[in-house]
Amino acid sequence: MATAPVVLRAQGRVAVRQAVSNASRYVFLGASLLGVGVLLILAYVTIEKGAGRLSWDFLTNYPSRFPEQAGLRSSILGTVWVMALTIVMALPIAVGTAIWIEEFAPRNKLLAFVKLNLSNLAGVPSIIYGVLGLAVFGRYFGLGPSIMTGALTLSLMIMPMTVIASQEAIRQVPPSIRDGALALGATKWQTVWYHVLPGAAPGIITGIILAVSRAAGETAALIMIGAFTFIAFDNTWPDQDFTTVPIQIYNWTIRPQEAFRENAAAAIIVLMVAVFSLNLLAAIIREKFRRS
Amino acid sequence: MSIRCCAPLTACAAVSLLTTCAIIYVLLEETIAFFREVSFSDFFLETRWRPQGGTPSFGIWELVAGTANVVIWSLVMAVPVGLASAIYLSEYAHPRARSILKPVLEALAGVPTVVFAYFALNFITTGVLRPVLGNDVPIFNALAASIMLAVMILPTIASISEDAMTSVPRDLREAAYGLGATKLEVAVRVVLPAALSGVIASILLAIARVVGETMIVAVAAGSSPNLTLWPLSTIQTMTGFMLQIGLGDAARGTIDYQALFAVGTMLFAITFLFNIGATWFVGRFREEYD
């Protein structure tokens, strides 16, 4: 005689607990989709408002008090100048610091202090870096609100995160590569220069790209050094005053006229395309070298 | 050999130490000058912050209250959502869903804050708060800034808490399942408490970021110091005041210029405390499970 299969069903409180647990999945999923949703809404609102203003003229015109004639020319050039100088200054010092910490530093209290100091600097608000740049580079060195002051300030600001990324990249190079080079008679310095650095290069490049994408969106620190100015010429040298795309966005955002808000939205599209391209580039480099 | 290659590298490492020294020196120099003009008791015991005008008053608490206002309301929104995201990513999500959700969440962290500032003023206040709560909502208000600040710190809270939850040993979960706990009970009553130091660290870091954030509050929260924690009031934060001075090109030696550094010192001290706290909790967490 065949018996019917016994189905065990939770009852009473156990059933309630299971039902609540099953439902919770969707609550947690909803919460994590909220971030995605916000990103999509913001993208939609910006494109709807700003896409109409995007044109070649918008990219190549100087700022203007007539919103329909105003463009991003001087702020794009200023951003490129400041970013280029920031990379040139920050990269060697950041990589040098990371090599020192990982390969040469004596394992003592000084090293622990240097590391603690770096992690604290990473948490210092950008406006404090702006105050530092204003007082030291702008006033004490007499550089004023110039491209050089901006680049020096942003170099110091991105230094901690670039050092930490470079440290991680250097640590990823397997010790066997160092041991092999040293066993074949290479000096410590040759080992680092010919074997560790090339191995760490993709990680270091990823780190600097991400740091630059943060610096490219920085506003407060540059306003503090005095870069909230009207620029209607092409920058040709680091001692000139400048403006950047985020500063231009701020300028257009705080104006009462609706037409300037459209300009701000269009400039946000330009800035976000640049920032996401940099992030994408970093992700591609990371993926490409992870496989090989 | 070791001298030749080590000296330049040591010099590089010295740059970060010099940066810290320079920040402290620059802040203290002008702050000391500030306290020659304004007494400690005026700064810490007065409540009104009116640097301009006939009888200037330099009570820091209105600016501190402005900062506290946006910290409280942004945390009220970001902590539940951030922790729920972390729990989903760590406990529920299929690896494929996780590999899509996590980068998108981190993309939020890459958005420049001036962009959030634009949304706070032009979308949150005019497009959401006023239609929902009525036109009494002031155009500059702490709530709009807090909402965008919450979006800004969401990735910080979610990502660091998720790291902490993922490194909770599997044994703890298995033991709880063995005793008949459901998935939700394991997540909320086993994993969350076990990851608590990491969660606290993520919240402290988020607070430090909100306290130091400038553009969102300067654009959306207003520039009138106000001793209130009510989210629908126009306020000014410490960073908002600093940016206002930065925009105005105050000359060296004026009380405005010195006040900038005095508020800067206060800001630096507060963010430093929260960052140190976060580092301490992260260290404690690593000790427990690594």
Q: Which helix (H) or strand (E) holds B58?
A: strand B57-58
Residues A237-264: b if buried by 16+ CB within 10 A, e if exposed? ebebbbbbbbbbbbbbbbeeeeebbbbb
CA distance A274 to chain B (A): 11
Asked if the model's pLDDT at residue B4 lies above 60, the reply is no
Q: What is the mean pLDDT of residues A5-31?
A: 86
**Domain B63-244+264-289 classification at class level:** mainly alpha
pLDDT of A291 reads 57
Q: Are A169 and A207 in contact (CB under 8 A)?
A: yes
Q: Which residues of B touch A210 (CB under 8 A)?
A: 110
ipTM for the complex shown: 0.94
Q: In angstroms, rounded to a whole number, what is the distance separating the alpha carbons of residues B73 and B145?
A: 9
The 10s digit of each residue's pLDDT in B18-43 is 999 999 999 999 999 999 999 999 99
Could you give the C-alpha distances from A156 to A257, B211, B245, in angstroms and in order?
A: 36, 20, 22
Q: In angstroms, rounded to a whole number, what is the distance separating the alpha carbons of residues B172 and B180?
A: 13
Say whether B219 and A254 touch across the interface (CB within 8 A): yes
Q: Which residues of B touch A271 (CB under 8 A)?
A: 112, 115
Find, among B132, B134, B122, the residue nearest to B216 by Cα. B122
pLDDT of B106 reads 81
Q: Are A270 and A59 in contact (CB under 8 A)?
A: yes
- Residue A64: phi and psi, rounded to 5, are -155, 160
Q: What percent of chain B has pLDDT over 70?
A: 97
Tokens of A99: 């090599």
pLDDT of B205 reads 95
Q: Which has the minimum average pLDDT: A4-18, A39-53, B196-210, B235-249?
A: A4-18
Q: Residue B136 carries which side chain, given as an amino acid letter?
A: D
Find, among A129, A117, A89, the residue nearest to B23 by Cα. A129
pTM for the predicted model, two decimal places = 0.93
Q: In angstroms, rounded to a whole number, what is the distance separating the alpha carbons of residues B63 and B224?
A: 9
pLDDT of B2 reads 47
Find, among A201, A200, A225, A60, the residue nearest to A148 by Cα. A225
Q: Which residues of A touch B241 (CB under 8 A)?
A: none
Q: In angstroms, rounded to a whole number, what is the distance separating the alpha carbons of residues B86 and B83?
A: 5
Say whether A117 and B154 touch across the interface (CB within 8 A): no
The 10s digit of each residue's pLDDT in B169-219 is 999 999 999 999 999 999 999 999 999 999 999 999 999 999 999 999 999
Q: In angstroms, rounded to a whole number, what is the distance separating the alpha carbons of residues B70 and B74?
A: 6
Find, in chain B, the residue whose alpha carbon is nearest to that of A117.
Answer: B17
The 10s digit of each residue's pLDDT in A200-235 is 999 999 999 999 999 999 999 999 999 998 999 999
> When comparing pLDDT for B9 and B270, which is higher?
B270
Coil/strand/helix, residue B57:
strand
Q: Residue B28 carries which side chain, given as an amino acid letter?
A: L
Asked if the model's pLDDT at residue B1 lies above 50, the reply is no
Confidence of residue A292 (pLDDT cuts 50, 70, 90): low
Long-range Cβ pairs for the range A16-20 (8 Å, 24+):
A17/B182, A17/B184, A17/B185, A18/B182, A20/B182, A20/B184
Could you give the C-alpha distances from A3 to A6, A7, A9, A10, in angstroms and in order?
A: 8, 12, 18, 21
Q: Is B10 exposed, middle or buried (0-12, 13-18, 19+ CB in 10 A)?
A: middle
User: Is B26 touching A (CB cutoff 8 A)?
Assistant: yes
CA distance B246 to chain A (A): 5
Confidence of residue B287 (pLDDT cuts 50, 70, 90): low
Q: What is the mean pLDDT of residues A56-65?
A: 92
The 10s digit of each residue's pLDDT in B124-150 is 999 999 999 988 999 999 999 999 999
Q: Residue B91 carries which side chain, given as an amino acid letter?
A: E
Q: Give the largest CA-CA distance in chain A.
A: 100
Q: In angstroms, rounded to a whole number, what is the distance separating the alpha carbons of residues A37 and A151?
A: 35
Find, among A233, A230, A209, the residue nearest to A77 by Cα. A233
Find, in chain A, the residue whose alpha carbon is nearest to that of B112.
Answer: A217
Interface test with B, best of A11, A28, A250 (most B CBs within 10 A): A28
Find, in chain A, the residue whose alpha carbon is nearest to that of B217.
Answer: A220
User: Is B280 touching A (CB cutoff 8 A)?
Assistant: no
Say whether B247 and A272 touch across the interface (CB within 8 A): no
Task: Give the one of A159, A213, A254 whose C-beta lies nearest to B16's C-beta.
Answer: A159
Asked if the model's pLDDT at residue B49 lies above 50, the reply is yes
Q: Are A246 and B111 in contact (CB under 8 A)?
A: no
Find, in chain A, the residue whose alpha carbon is nearest to that of B266.
Answer: A128
Interface test with A, best of B25, B90, B184 (most A CBs within 10 A): B184
Q: In angstroms, rounded to a whole number, what is the distance separating the alpha carbons of residues B107 and B151?
A: 11
Q: What is the mean pLDDT of residues A109-132?
A: 94
Say whether B118 and A272 touch across the interface (CB within 8 A): no
User: Is B215 touching A (CB cutoff 8 A)?
Assistant: yes
Asked if the model's pLDDT at residue B288 lies above 70, the reply is no
Q: Which helix (H) or strand (E) holds A178?
A: helix A175-183
Q: In angstroms, rounded to a whole number, what is the distance separating the alpha carbons of residues B118 and A236?
A: 30
- Residue A241: phi and psi, rounded to 5, are -65, 160
Q: Are B34 and B261 in contact (CB under 8 A)?
A: yes
Q: What percent of chain A has pLDDT over 70?
A: 98
Q: Residue A242 carries which side chain, given as an amino acid letter?
A: F
Coil/strand/helix, residue B195:
coil
CA B242 to chain CA centroid, Å, is 16
